[in-house]
């Protein structure tokens, strides 16, 4: 009886030699895959964006913000128009089709982009909805944008 138990224990250990590396490999693969790289957001609700981040909408669509571009009138300049921020984005619709494009986010713009006609983005109508990396001044007339608050319209 003791011999049988030792043989069973030996077989279990032998199987563990095979299973343990497979288990460790599986855990390594899972830990290296991108999980949770998508920030959950909702349509028609303001949220803060930054460059090189992906935002997931409730219907499965995704919005990758590639860059935030300052196309505003330079600081201390006299301009006819205040300018705007544009976004270089990749829009992935609910069926998994991706489209690259540039979106205008001027708060008066209410039509979708020509590049991505199914997508409408507006700058949120809140004070200080665009944040710059450095202060806008005469020496730095067009500072980089660090973040913005936008609304994806459904």
Domain ranges of the chain: 1-33, 38-153
pTM above 0.85, yes or no: no
End-to-end CA distance of the chain: 71
pLDDT, position 67: 95
What digits encode the pLDDT tens for the residues 111-121?
666 777 777 87
pLDDT, position 111: 60
What digits encode the pLDDT tens for the residues 46-82?
999 999 999 999 999 999 999 999 988 888 888 888 8
């Amino acid at each position: 009886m003791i011999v049988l138990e030792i043989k069973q224990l030996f077989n279990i250990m032998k199987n563990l030699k095979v299973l343990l590396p497979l288990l460790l490999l599986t855990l390594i693969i899972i830990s290296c895959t991108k999980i949770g790289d998508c920030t959950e957001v909702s349509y028609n609700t303001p949220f803060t964006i930054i460059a090189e981040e992906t935002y997931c909408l409730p219907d499965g669509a995704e919005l990758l913000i590639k860059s935030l571009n300052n196309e505003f009138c330079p600081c201390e300049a006299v301009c006819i128009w205040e300018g705007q921020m544009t976004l270089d984005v990749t829009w992935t619709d609910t069926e998994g089709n991706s489209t690259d494009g540039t979106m205008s986010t001027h708060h008066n713009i209410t039509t979708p982009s020509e590049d991505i006609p199914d997508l409408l983005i507006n700058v949120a109508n809140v004070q200080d909805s665009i944040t710059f990396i450095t202060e806008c001044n005469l020496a730095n007339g067009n500072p980089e944008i660090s973040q913005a608050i936008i609304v994806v319209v459904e």
